[in-house]
Structure 1
């Protein structure tokens, strides 16, 4: 049902776009125009109109009880961010993996115009049925809606100038690379070393994908071949590590590691409340092969077992029977603001060394907080001698190299 409201949908839509701009996620006039044009509330008819224009995701297909949704409409700021990365232009042929409500496909149709083409693919028939109805009802019947496995892309309309993925893959399937035109752009919320970032890859003349722009995000995990790669182990009550299969992380070696003496090292770098630290994590992945995600619940933190900077998602380093994770502490407030110093807490025989190494990367980040690592994706099987310098992350279909 769509609840009544005293504020017209057009005004709520303008407020939504104004908020996105104020948050710094709206850098393109064409994306702004599309966001102010497409009636988002008509793609989520079971939501109230105010909720449709709030800065939150809306579930359209629940998942397993107690688990994540199977499909949703993404947070507007994330939608704008990824469209900015995609840079879709009039006449472009665009493939979208993950149809959702059809809202993002409508925005893409606005961006590519009547001379362009948009194809959106989803594995759930009820999701594509919803998207088809919503697109037809709002005048975007020219969008092609396909029910199928998104990991296979859609070869019928290839090659594509742009591919955008609106579900969260762990790997890059060969079909996406094959169906992307040379010089084309792939925007994908890729997971590696426990974090997920929206990466804007450009296909080079040699077929390699290269990215100099990645931004923090979170998405529903993708269903399909090769997409269940991330591993998780419980190292203590209410404390988990998330990592990749190519990392030699051994649960038995880490047994009881948090019961060992904690050593905390401080970096000297500080942040204000709500100030972003998200580029620290990809920097770690370009320097340290043992980077992973440290996730602690309330029980572990309240019991004093650990004190991560961000309870459920802090970068950590693991080596043999030792680990260190990102932490912080409040500093004495000055006349204008409160600040928090970043540091690292280590446990185990190598705990101090790992904490020092974490702090070294934090200090490098502090010197230039906007610097991004270069992310290069090669097809699996490419020998090391043919890779650029950097940390290599081996997945099933690709070899990622993170270069700082």
Structure 2
């Protein structure tokens, strides 16, 4: 045993300091519960260092194919979403996705009444884990339910706050019905191939967003009907992901990366640690052809060279495809920056690459300081009653727009 090893209390203090340095845990109560609740007790198989790593999720269960089924979210993500949720004392709270029980313990501390917290998960192994961890940590009043999270838990509704720690493609109608007027809903919502933690307030039959932040989560089980995916290479390693309301001809894109490459550069540069995800968010407002390209980390740049390994925004039109890329540049002072650009293939490659560069330049004017409004309407809302074009889902319609400058 190392007598000089930091205690869990010290590790939580350091964890919180690092999270706050990045701009999370802004609310004093959120900072308090992150500092006080023993996170390591909810991930007993992880080392103390891993349990308190500000940027690391701790995986506790996996599907047979190796993808994550349950985890304790990274502390910075936990802080981000709890800031968005803005729990008040005495609030009734529903959590979708029980995980390790850690988040439910934080919610219990924030509301001050353990029995006001209900957490649900479809997998009995996950709920058993959460219930066991909560009990061991002294949170015996939290109500743990095994069931379909998309149905909520109506017997305890209405809720002042609903938080989903699994990522849905749509907002189930049951969540709308179980949320009190004026209540808040926070969830990692997916559209156009990307995921954002969005905080909504329920007003006049609509969900009005006031916070949209980049995030990634385990998908909501059974919620896979809306996002489509298919390979575009013969070896099936590179795939496109798009929404069902986007009329893509995936057959026309087979082998598109084998066609001549057209590259365009925007003259917009970023530092190595500067975020660029606002480009993708902007594209979901301005271009109905935006989707996601998934590329293995070991793919040859000569075949596909996106801005980051794994995934990047792409534009599709007919049999043509363009995606976001970057190249290293040195400024006059010798500092390294990265110029943003587009690589395109297909009959309209040159035009599509220039279109993506135009969007990069438009984003650069405000960078991430300017975010769109997002209002969600019930799916049966007539298009004539919407304030703009909608992204159609099963239970809802998303309307994104930029306010006039």
Instruction: Place the TM-score, normalised by the shorter chain, in its bin.
Output: over 0.9
How far is 1:373 from its partner? 1.3
Q: 1:5 to 1:395 in 2, by over 3 A?
A: farther
How far is 1:179 from its partner? 0.6
Contact 2:115 2:141 in 1 (8 A): no
Alignment counterpart, residue 342 of structure 1, candidates 340, 343, 346: 340
Match of 2:227 in 1: 230
Q: In structure 1, the residue corresponding to 2:134 is in which secondary structure?
A: helix
How far is 1:46 from its partner? 1.5
Match of 1:359 in 2: 357
Q: Deviation per CA, 1:337-368, whole angstroms, max 9, x where unpaired?
A: 31011111222222222222212221221111
What count of residue pairs does the alignment treat as equivalent?
A: 398
How far is 1:394 from its partner? 1.3
How far is 1:298 from its partner? 4.2
How far is 1:153 from its partner? 0.6
Match of 1:149 in 2: 148
Contact 1:171 1:227 in 2 (8 A): no
Q: In structure 2, the residue corresponding to 1:375 is in which secondary structure?
A: strand
Match of 1:35 in 2: 34
Match of 2:303 in 1: 305
Match of 2:124 in 1: 125
Alignment counterpart, residue 212 of structure 2, candidates 211, 214, 222: 214
Q: In structure 1, the residue corresponding to 2:251 is in which secondary structure?
A: coil
Match of 1:92 in 2: 91
How far is 1:116 from its partner? 7.7
Q: Deviation per CA, 1:201-245, whole angstroms, max 9, x where unpaired?
A: 11112x111213211111111113x44421111112432111111
Match of 1:136 in 2: 135
Q: Distance in 2 between matches of 1:258 and 1:276?
A: 27
Q: Which runs of 5+ in 1 are unaligned?
A: none
How far is 1:299 from its partner? 4.9
Q: In structure 1, the residue corresponding to 2:198 is in which secondary structure?
A: strand
Match of 2:193 in 1: 194
TM-score, length of structure 2 as denominator length? 0.94
Match of 2:366 in 1: 368
Q: Deviation per CA, 1:356-393, whole angstroms, max 9, x where unpaired?
A: 22122212211112111112211213221111224x21
Q: In structure 2, the residue corresponding to 1:19 is in which secondary structure?
A: helix
Q: Distance in 2 between matches of 1:3 and 1:189?
A: 40
Q: 1:269 to 1:128 in 2, by over 3 A?
A: same
Contact 1:5 1:50 in 2 (8 A): no
Contact 2:114 2:142 in 1 (8 A): no
How far is 1:333 from its partner? 3.8
Q: 1:233 to 1:346 in 2, by over 3 A?
A: same
Match of 1:271 in 2: 270
How far is 1:150 from its partner? 0.4
How do 1:306-325 and structure 2 match up within 5 A? Answer: 306-325=304-323
Q: In structure 2, the residue corresponding to 1:223 is in which secondary structure?
A: coil
Q: 1:125 to 1:376 in 2, by over 3 A?
A: same
Q: Distance in 2 between matches of 1:232 and 1:5?
A: 50
TM-score, length of structure 1 as denominator length? 0.94
How do 1:157-176 and structure 2 match up within 5 A? Answer: 157-176=156-175
Q: Distance in 1 between matches of 2:284 and 2:378?
A: 19
Match of 1:396 in 2: 394
Q: Distance in 1 between matches of 2:129 and 2:303?
A: 47
Q: Deviation per CA, 1:282-324, whole angstroms, max 9, x where unpaired?
A: 110101111000122245434x022211131110110111111
Contact 2:101 2:133 in 1 (8 A): yes
How do 1:16-27 and structure 2 match up within 5 A? Answer: 16-27=15-26
Superposed CA RMSD in Å reads 1.9
Q: In structure 2, the residue corresponding to 1:268 is in which secondary structure?
A: strand
Superposed structure 1 runs of 4+ greater than 6 Å apart: 2-5
